[in-house]
Amino acid sequence: MQPAEAVFESQTEQEFEPKIIALFCNWCTYTGADLAGTSRIQYPPNIRIIRVMCTGSVDPLYILKPILEGVDGVLVGG
Amino acid sequence: MPGVFAGGDAVTGPKTVIEAVAAGKLAAESIHQYLQGLELKNTFKVSEEKVAPLRFAGDEIPRFEPEPVSCAEPVERAKNFSEVSAGYTLQQAKKEAERCLNCGVCSECLECTKVCLPAAIDHSMSDEEIELAAGAVILSPGFEPFDARLRQEFGWGIYPNVLTSIQFERMLSASGPFQGHLVRPSDKTEPKKIAFIQCIGSRDSTDKGSEYCSAVCCMYATKQAIIAQEHVPGLETAIFYIDVRAFGKDFEKYYDRARLEHGVRYEKCIVSTVRELQQEKTLRIKYRKANGKFAEEDFDLVVLSVGLRPSASAGELAGRTGIKLNEYGFCQPDEFKPGCTSKEGVFVSGAFCGPKDIPETVVESSAAAAHASCLLSTARGSLTAAKEYPPERDVSDEEPSVGVFVCNCGINIGGIINVPEVVKYAGGLRNVKYAEEFLFTCSQDNIQKIKERIIEYGLNRLVVASCTPRTHAPLFMSSMREAGLNPHLFEQANIREHSAWVHRDQPAAATEKAKELVSMSVAKACLLEPVATSFIEVNRRALVAGGGMAGITAALSLAGQGFDVYLVEKEKELGGNARNLFYTIQGNNPQVLLGRLVNQLQENPRITVLTGAEIKEVSGYVGNYRTKVKLGREIRELTHGVVIMAIGAREARPEEYMYGEHPSVLTQTELEHKIVGNELPGVKNIVMIQCVGSRQEGRPYCSRICCSHAIKNALKIKEINPAANVFILYRDVRMYGFMEKYYKKARSKGVIFIRYDLENKPSVTASGSHLTLQVNDPVLGEQVSLDADLLVLSTGVAPRSDNEKLSWLFKVALTADRFFAEAHMKLRPVDFAADGIYLCGLGHSPKLLGESIAQANAAAVRAVTLLSKDRLESLGIVATVDEDCCKGCGLCVAVCAYDARYLDRENGMIARVHEVLCQGCGACVASCPSGASQQKGFAKQQIIAMADAALG
């Protein structure tokens, strides 16, 4: 993986820069993402987090539709 | 006044030096003009009352004589060149500093009041004396850390690289002095080797330290060592200890992990000194090892695990409230009345009662609250007021009109993300009517502004782009209710934790991400619909499962707080394990207590005692349970709103050391029966083995009570027959807190303690009635042979075999060790994860009688927080069913972990929702093949809209 700083710089150079949709459980992974924030852990800015109350509620549609429409990856955390 | 010129602080009040210089120059110029007879320019007149504004009226401040400074006598002065003035003593200096001259120019520059935008700083505030009428007082002033300066041999305050554990804890923190970087204070380099020295000021019989054990240091040092290793890869950590007292629930597991997974080294020894090597500022520790030999070792950093001392205000508080403190200055409650003091109506909790860990502190606080709640049960609710909200505006016919508020969070967000740009972007999004930025969106004045904007712009959806909704959504949602909007028309974009803080070096990318997060939230907000919550009645009766000391105590507390109770006990007789306890280490008699409490139970009309009763079936849900109990041949159904699980545990049966094979091998409980029955004549040599079956494979936890049980019995034997020889073979002596003194007493009475380790267990052989023990003495370094008339095994506490069954019936979790698992180890020690079920006693984990009593009272008051409600409100974001689409397949019922879904067979097989039970997980929504199930606030089209918005 590239170092974090390089990620956005490289976008202008037409390099592949994935966009990832993240479906995170309110109780664990979303909390973990909050903790990453309070701990100031730095990571690439490619994910867009959608909070769900449990990953048990993740419908296959939430994964398939974005992929069909061009997202590069879906991350389910729960 | 012509001819008088003024400038500086006397005119303007406190200002900066630059402004004073400017004022001086202005005055000089004016004087020049005045003397030349010119017309005065560039100047302004100062009204007389403005000169030297006084803070107080003339008579408002009492006048005192200045504090005299003592000087050396002239005779003395003539003899030497010493300082003439002795200066002020601490008291004199304080007194002089308090002597206000009302000169008008205080050192307060008041610059802070100018920069604080919400005008939160008020220098004129003064102390206020408030009188409160209260029926009960709970004291919890906490503790103070031991002053490491008193133990100079460890070098704190002398060597920069010697820290106290409190300092080290701060250093490990992201908000600490080095932003979470672990460095040596002397040269800011990363240490490679850290030593933790235990028992600083604790288990210390000199006049500087305290005799008791501080109970928490072994675990916090272990935690700090693990965290330090996470900070610095490859770091070596060593903990220098006397005994590792990992006695709490799951502590032993943590200690094992520290040693085996993290490689923390534990060195049993006594540290004599810490010395600094001057060049490198490295520290050399000199210590005496367990085998008596001295050793030296160098470390980059030394952390002193300082103990707990009574709070400085404890004495004063005790004096004012008339309560008694123990010999150490703590307010130690009676063993059987934790939370109570020597004075009625005054209760105590926390480390004020003695050193203890967080779970015990939380338990005792709840126990103190339970006592106060019993005392004041008739006044419950008399001082509370219900909040009034304006009627909710119906927005169903309105087009979405979204207000977006972007928070700077001081500089937390605004320092990274270009907030004005985000606001501008948000303002251009479809359906967004209004967008604004705030310095702190959660501040009171800005919450007020949000409410005003909702009304002013007719907003019907709210999006706040700030921090995590997990902490702040309730605040913003409540402001919506106050503005007449349904609170569920709200969405929060987390641009702090998920953007500003995690992309600090990429402000442009962080801003882009924030914009998209806002756009996603707006997309969802447009599709949000109002959510109505529903209510159910609460059955205000409790069921207590288990009639041991914990169950009895919980039942009495609930009844005392005004609620009816069913107490269900499986055995024919009440009392549980307490029936096998005849004296405590403090000398109290549990049988007397048990007798008294059983009488109170029988006399209490609120309590229905059912003995010989087995719980067969549990149905219903929080607030409305139905439990079937088998009484002989009869099955009785009990209805109740809450459950307290107080089902106890049992003494473990040993499988080694010839137990069951030889009549002279007993458990500690069996020994206690023999002591009380006076069945030990002629017994001279008694050997006890600790940790039998505990802290090893099979039963890896520490049973907490065995050390004190053994020492209690050893002291009793010595009391009856001082000539008896008692040997205790131990691994660590875990006499935590104030119990340390009994360990000391046992040694002074001649009880001999010999340490063994798991790799080198003692062995026993028998010849006739006689037993011989072989054990390796680590001090002598030799195998020792002990003759024993009696071999007593401290076997620990094992969970009951029916825990599994009960965990299924009540749908509550068990730990790996098969004890019941609370909702949160530290912060919710008597709650289960599910509402309405609470936990106390040995079923939670091994503990002493007094600790069980405290936990039982705590569970009772936690239950009352629910029982005292008239009705329960549902969560809001619950599942719903489109009845036209539902085919009644029952998949949702199968996947629901909370029993919140059921098939309504009478009305055409439609799957319905118990809204109060629904925890809003949405599993049924994903499982529904026909799309009939939806979750309020997380509808499928809302999630899809967010994903679409993310794609742009």
Q: Tens of pLDDT along B707-731? A: 999 999 999 999 999 999 999 999 9
**Per-residue model confidence (pLDDT) at position B50:** 56
Partners of A40 on chain B (C-beta within 8 Å) are: 174, 180, 501-502, 504
Could you say which of B468, B516, B926 has the minimum Cβ distance to residue A59? B926
Three-class SS of residue B776? strand
Q: Is the pLDDT of residue B159 over 70?
A: yes
CB contact under 8 A, B922 and A54: yes
Q: Which residue of B has its CA nearest to A43?
A: B502
Residue B63 pLDDT grade (very low, low, confident, very high; cuts 50, 70, 90)? confident
The number of beta carbons lying within 10 Å of the beta carbon of residue B785 is 10
**Cα(B592)–Cα(B926) distance, integer angstroms:** 58
As a whole number, mean pLDDT of residues B559-573 equals 97
Among B4-13, B21-30, B756-765, the range scoring the smallest mean pLDDT is: B4-13
Task: Quote the percentage of chain B above a pLDDT of 90.
Answer: 76
Q: Is the pLDDT of residue B463 over 80?
A: yes
> Shortest Cα distance from B891 to chain A (angstroms)?
13
**Cα(B662)–Cα(B654) distance, integer angstroms:** 13
Distances, alpha carbon B851 to alpha carbons B247, B812, B841, B901, in Å = 13, 22, 8, 39
Q: Which residues contact B385 (CB under 8 A, 6 or more apart)?
A: none
As a whole number, mean pLDDT of residues B784-809 equals 95
CB contact under 8 A, A40 and B502: yes
Q: Is the pLDDT of residue B614 over 80?
A: yes
Task: Quote the percentage of chain B above a pLDDT of 70.
Answer: 97
Residue B86 pLDDT grade (very low, low, confident, very high; cuts 50, 70, 90)? confident
Partners of A52 on chain B (C-beta within 8 Å) are: 922, 938, 943
Pick among A9, A26, A58, A59 to test the B interface (most B CBs inside 10 A): A59
The residue behind tokens 């007082």 is B137
Mean pLDDT of chain B: 92
Could you say which of B468, B513, B923 has the minimum Cβ distance to residue A56? B923
The domains found in chain B, sorted by start residue, are 9-98 (no CATH), 143-310 (3.50.50.60), 402-527 (3.40.50), 538-648+800-872 (3.50.50.60), 652-796 (3.50.50.60), 874-951 (3.30.70.20)
Q: Which residue of B has its CA nearest to A58?
A: B926
Residue B547 pLDDT grade (very low, low, confident, very high; cuts 50, 70, 90)? very high
> Shortest Cα distance from A8 to chain B (angstroms)?
6
Q: Is the pLDDT of residue B160 over 60?
A: yes
Q: Is the pLDDT of residue A49 over 80?
A: yes
Could you say which of B501, B509, B938 has the minimum Cβ distance to residue A37? B501
Q: Which residue of B has its CA nearest to A37?
A: B497
Q: Which residue of B has its CA nearest to A33?
A: B498
Partners of A66 on chain B (C-beta within 8 Å) are: 947-948, 950-951
The answer to whether B858 and B363 are in contact (CB under 8 A) is yes
Query: What long-range pairs does B44-49 form, CB within 8 A, spacing at least 24?
Result: B46/B6, B46/B11, B48/B1
As a whole number, mean pLDDT of residues B824-837 equals 90
**Per-residue model confidence (pLDDT) at position A2:** 47
Q: Over the stretch B889-942, which tens digit does the pLDDT of each residue have?
A: 999 999 998 888 999 988 888 999 988 888 899 999 999 999 899 999 999 999
Amino acid making up residue A46? N
Could you say which of B468, B504, B513 has the minimum Cβ distance to residue A40? B504
**Cα(B888)–Cα(B902) distance, integer angstroms:** 10
Q: What is the CA radius of gyration of chain B?
A: 35
Q: Over the stretch B759-780, which tens digit does the pLDDT of each residue have?
A: 999 999 999 888 999 999 998 8
CB contact under 8 A, A42 and B503: yes
Return the closest-CA partner of residue B561 out of B535, B536, B540, B534: B540
Q: Over the stretch B362-400, which tens digit does the pLDDT of each residue have?
A: 999 999 999 999 999 999 989 888 888 999 999 989 999
What is the 3-state secondary structure of B780-817?
A: CCEEEEEEECEEEECCCEEECCCHHHHHHHCCCCECCC
Considering only the C-alpha atoms of chain A, give the largest distance between any 2 of them, rounded to a whole number of Å: 39
B interface with A, Cβ–Cβ below 8 Å: 174, 180, 468-470, 494, 496-499, 501-506, 508-510, 512-513, 516-517, 520, 877, 895, 919-923, 925-926, 935, 938, 940, 943-944, 946-948, 950-951
For B582, half-sphere exposure in the C-beta direction (CA atoms, 13 angstrom radius) is 13
Q: Is the pLDDT of residue A5 over 70?
A: no
CB contact under 8 A, A33 and B940: no
**Per-residue model confidence (pLDDT) at position A1:** 43
- What order do you get walking across the sheet with B763-767 strand by strand? B763-767, B770-777, B782-788
CB contact under 8 A, B921 and A7: no
Counting one residue from chain A and one from chain B, the pairs whose CB atoms sit within 8 A come to 120
Q: Which residues contact B395 (CB under 8 A, 6 or more apart)?
A: B460, B485, B486, B489, B530
Q: Is the pLDDT of residue A7 over 80?
A: no
Q: Which residue of B has its CA nearest to A19?
A: B951
CB contact under 8 A, B501 and A48: no
Partners of A49 on chain B (C-beta within 8 Å) are: 494, 498, 517
CB contact under 8 A, A59 and B940: yes
Could you say which of B174, B517, B943 has the minimum Cβ distance to residue A39? B174
Residue A4 pLDDT grade (very low, low, confident, very high; cuts 50, 70, 90)? very low
Amino acid making up residue B213? C
CB contact under 8 A, B470 and A31: yes
The number of beta carbons lying within 10 Å of the beta carbon of residue B871 is 11
| DSSP bridge partners of B688 | B728, B792
Pick among A50, A72, A76 to test the B interface (most B CBs inside 10 A): A50
Q: Over the stretch B508-543, which tens digit does the pLDDT of each residue have?
A: 999 999 999 999 999 999 999 999 888 889 999 999
CB contact under 8 A, B174 and A38: yes
Return the closest-CA partner of residue B524 out of B476, B463, B585: B463
Partners of B513 on chain A (C-beta within 8 Å) are: 45, 48
Considering only the C-alpha atoms of chain B, give the largest distance between any 2 of them, rounded to a whole number of Å: 126
> Shortest Cα distance from A47 to chain B (angstroms)?
9
CB contact under 8 A, A40 and B512: no
Q: What is the pTM (predicted TM-score) of this model?
A: 0.81
Return the closest-CA partner of residue B901 out of B924, B930, B920, B877: B924
Q: Is the pLDDT of residue B23 over 50?
A: yes
Q: b or e along B274-311 (b: 16 or more beta carbons within 10 Å of the residue's beta carbon)? A: bbbeeeebbbebebeeeeeeeeeeebbbbbbbbbbbbb
For B216, half-sphere exposure in the C-beta direction (CA atoms, 13 angstrom radius) is 22
As a whole number, mean pLDDT of residues B43-55 equals 59
**Cα(B408)–Cα(B389) distance, integer angstroms:** 29
ipTM value for the complex = 0.87
Residue B314 pLDDT grade (very low, low, confident, very high; cuts 50, 70, 90)? confident
Residue B117 pLDDT grade (very low, low, confident, very high; cuts 50, 70, 90)? confident
Could you say which of A36, A61, A69 has the minimum Cβ distance to residue B951? A69
Distances, alpha carbon B328 to alpha carbons B309, B367, B733, B737, B923, in Å = 8, 23, 21, 11, 55
Which range among B45-49, B410-414, B482-486 has the greatest average pLDDT?
B482-486
Tokens, residue B935: 């979750």
Residue B48 pLDDT grade (very low, low, confident, very high; cuts 50, 70, 90)? low
Distances, alpha carbon A78 to alpha carbons A63, B320, B494, B791, in Å = 14, 53, 18, 52
**Cα(B939)–Cα(B528) distance, integer angstroms:** 8
Partners of B951 on chain A (C-beta within 8 Å) are: 19, 66, 69-71
> Shortest Cα distance from A7 to chain B (angstroms)?
9
Residue A12 pLDDT grade (very low, low, confident, very high; cuts 50, 70, 90)? low
Q: Which residues contact B815 (CB under 8 A, 6 or more apart)?
A: B249, B250, B821
Pick among A48, A62, A74, A75 to test the B interface (most B CBs inside 10 A): A48
Partners of B502 on chain A (C-beta within 8 Å) are: 36-37, 40-43, 45
Higher pLDDT: A38 or B616? It is: B616
As a whole number, mean pLDDT of residues B16-44 equals 83
